[in-house]
Chain A
Amino acid sequence: MEIVIQQIAAGLATGGIYAAVALALVMIYQATELVNFAQGEMAMFSTYIAWSMINAGMPYWVAFFLTIVISLIGGVLIERFVIRPVEDAPILSIVIVFIGLLVIFNSLAGWIFSYVIKEFPSPFPSHAIVIGHIQFGSHDIGSVIVTLVVLALLYVFFRFTPLGLAMRAAAQNPVSSRLVGIRVGWMLALGWGLAAAVGSVAGMMVAHKVFLDPNMMSGILLYSFAAALLGGITSPGGAVFGGFTVGVLENLVGSFVPFVGNELKLTVALVLIIGVLLVKPSGLFGRTVVTRV
């Protein structure tokens, strides 16, 4: 029983990472109806930037916040200069641009920082926290807390600030937004910036557990994508729920289903998720979009 709880706890920790990346995907999706497949690589690259700063002697939390700011600016610039020129192109063409970005970030990271696996420090104490008979890694608990704080801040931002409201409006109805004076283009760019910032937090939290290397985020991106769809790609809350669920599911399947080692764990988790989607095609919390014929 204790092992189950431990696995669930560990699952929640990774789940938090998936939730954060899933949220980043949903944010961009809501504004553009596109899934940013390059989100994972952007997060990985941000993490390398953080690593360089820490390696150069900067204190952890300073590097942490500086990376978030850099990622935010980076996201804005990428939207304005890389995505903006093709925003009217067919969807699949834009997907190819995302793939291009993905490949560029991955390759640049390998070139600049080498493919040697690096350690990424944790700001949390190294001893485990014991509650009852169950051991919880303090990095795990710390990650979950950091993720939840980030999610809470985002929620407050979108719900209670004028800029957040404007961003929501711009995502939902660009034409009406222009008619009230919202500069929709900048809202989109800011959305990308926030998504990049959230991604960077996810990257920095997960790097300690899986070690930093250019291919660190590819599996995570897939899980996050699945989580976002599971929760319903139109629902930020759903994405978060999906993320935690997928994290726990992955851990439980990996630990308790006999023939499934690390290799097949991904496949099994995905098959389960797809099973859910076949029953509820818009995801658990997604709105079934009724299109008028």
Chain B
Amino acid sequence: MTALLKVSGLNAYYGRVQALFGMAFEVQEGGITTILGANGAGKTTTLRAVCGLTRTEGQIEFNGNAIGSKATEDIVRMGIAQVPDGRGTFVNLTVEENLRLGAYTRKNRSLVAQDFDRVYHLFPVLLERREQQAGTLSGGEQQMLAIARALMLRPKLLLLDEPSFGLAPLVVKEVFEVLRQVNKEEGVSMLLVEQNASLALRLADDAYLMETGQVVLSGPAQQIGEDESVRRSYLGY
């Protein structure tokens, strides 16, 4: 298995404040990696750093290319899509317009049309609400919209920032099912940042635990999920 995304020695800064201290992790091609940690550990910062939204030092390699100094707009064009925390939907635009924006950088119209069908198939509620303003959707529907929008890029790597946040358990189950399906059937690699550890560990292949800007533990997700001492001291269950 080759590493699609390889990060090492990553420092990230908000202005003069340093938030990440030598982060290192990998996402395998076709796999799902999860980064876990409490509030403030730096999970969101990590995703922002990968996308070029914050000042960084260190190595970030995607598909063999160094992307650490690239602009977000260019990184996106290389095939990385992010579902940001808080969903980041365009609330004043319709559902369909949101999806169309997901495919903004793509040239092949027929493939985009195919993806529209695919996405509506994965999330039928979005098809129902296509002409509706995105801001009027429920939290769960907006999360689905955010994921759908990211999928419209036909990304090689999907970054997800706390997709379970603020969602009812049944909705979360539905969403994670879709993620699993997309990963298995289309080979979309995923980097999933989550506070809900048990959920993430069941979905992911590899796991990293973060604390104040650094990785403190890593290993296969299943192993970590089964290790009682780890669960109790780091994951709280």
- Which B residues, 91 to 115, have Cβ-Cβ distances below 8 Å to chain A? 91-93, 97, 100-102, 104-105
- Which A residues, 234 to 258, have Cβ-Cβ distances below 8 Å to chain B? none
B21 at the interface (CB under 8 A from A): no
13 A-B contacts (beta carbon < 8 Å) = A162-B100, A162-B104, A165-B97, A165-B101, A172-B90, A176-B90, A178-B73, A179-B82, A180-B81, A180-B102, A180-B104, A180-B153, A182-B73
Give the nearest-CB partner of B52 in chain A: A178
Given contacts A173-B88, A178-B72, contact A166 B53 (CB under 8 A): no
A85 at the interface (CB under 8 A from B): no
- In the bound complex, residues from chain A placing their C-beta under 8 Å from that of B72 are 178-179
A181 in complex: contacting residue of B92, B100, B104, CB < 8 Å: B104
- In the bound complex, residues from chain B placing their C-beta under 8 Å from that of A179 are 51, 72, 76, 81-82, 84, 88
Q: What's the minimum C-beta distance from B101 to chain A, rounded to whole angstroms?
A: 5
A183 at the interface (CB under 8 A from B): yes
Give the nearest-CB partner of B102 in chain A: A180
A139 at the interface (CB under 8 A from B): no
Residues of A whose CB lies within 8 Å of any CB of B are 162, 165-166, 168-169, 172-173, 175-184
Given contacts A172-B90, A176-B84, contact A166 B73 (CB under 8 A): no
Give the nearest-CB partner of A183 in chain B: B73
- In the bound complex, residues from chain B placing their C-beta under 8 Å from that of A166 are 101, 104
- In the bound complex, residues from chain B placing their C-beta under 8 Å from that of A169 are 90, 93, 101
Per-position binary interface string of chain B over residues 78-92, scored 1 when its CB falls under 8 Å from any chain A CB and 0 otherwise: 000110100011111
B173 at the interface (CB under 8 A from A): no
- In the bound complex, residues from chain B placing their C-beta under 8 Å from that of A175 are 53, 84, 88
Give the nearest-CB partner of B149 in chain A: A180
- In the bound complex, residues from chain B placing their C-beta under 8 Å from that of A178 are 53, 72-73, 76
B77 in complex: contacting residue of A165, A172, A181, CB < 8 Å: A181
A169–B153 Cα distance when bound, in Å, is 16
Give the nearest-CB partner of B153 in chain A: A180
CB-based contact B51/A173 at 8 Å = no
A178–B92 Cα distance when bound, in Å, is 17
- In the bound complex, residues from chain A placing their C-beta under 8 Å from that of B97 are 165
CB-based contact B92/A172 at 8 Å = yes
Q: What's the minimum C-beta distance from B84 to chain A, rounded to whole angstroms?
A: 6
Give the nearest-CB partner of B80 in chain A: A179
- Which B residues, 64 to 82, have Cβ-Cβ distances below 8 Å to chain A? 72-73, 76-77, 81-82
A169–B90 Cα distance when bound, in Å, is 7
Majority-rule SS of A interface residues = helix
Q: What's the minimum C-beta distance from A182 to chain B, rounded to whole angstroms?
A: 6
- In the bound complex, residues from chain A placing their C-beta under 8 Å from that of B93 are 165, 168-169, 172
- In the bound complex, residues from chain B placing their C-beta under 8 Å from that of A176 are 84, 88-90
Which 10 pairs from chain A and chain B are nearest by CB?
A181-B105, A181-B76, A176-B88, A178-B72, A180-B101, A180-B104, A181-B73, A183-B73, A179-B82, A169-B90
- In the bound complex, residues from chain A placing their C-beta under 8 Å from that of B153 are 180-181
9 further contact pairs, Cβ within 8 A, besides A176-B90, A179-B51: A168-B93, A172-B91, A172-B93, A173-B90, A173-B91, A175-B53, A178-B76, A179-B84, A180-B76
- In the bound complex, residues from chain B placing their C-beta under 8 Å from that of A173 are 88, 90-91
A184–B73 Cα distance when bound, in Å, is 9
Per-position binary interface string of chain B over residues 120-164, scored 1 when its CB falls under 8 Å from any chain A CB and 0 otherwise: 000000000000000000000000000001000100000000000
- In the bound complex, residues from chain A placing their C-beta under 8 Å from that of B73 are 178, 181-184
A175–B84 Cα distance when bound, in Å, is 10
- In the bound complex, residues from chain B placing their C-beta under 8 Å from that of A181 are 73, 76-77, 104-105, 153
- Which B residues, 28 to 73, have Cβ-Cβ distances below 8 Å to chain A? 51, 53, 72-73
Give the nearest-CB partner of B74 in chain A: A181
A162–B77 Cα distance when bound, in Å, is 17
Q: What's the minimum C-beta distance from B28 to chain A, rounded to whole angstroms?
A: 23
Give the nearest-CB partner of B106 in chain A: A181
A179–B74 Cα distance when bound, in Å, is 10
A247–B92 Cα distance when bound, in Å, is 30
A166–B105 Cα distance when bound, in Å, is 11
Q: What's the minimum C-beta distance from B73 to chain A, rounded to whole angstroms?
A: 5
- In the bound complex, residues from chain B placing their C-beta under 8 Å from that of A182 are 73, 101, 104
A169–B84 Cα distance when bound, in Å, is 16
A179–B72 Cα distance when bound, in Å, is 7
Given contacts A172-B93, A180-B76, contact A165 B81 (CB under 8 A): no
A176–B145 Cα distance when bound, in Å, is 13
Q: What's the minimum C-beta distance from A178 to chain B, rounded to whole angstroms?
A: 4
A179–B84 Cα distance when bound, in Å, is 9
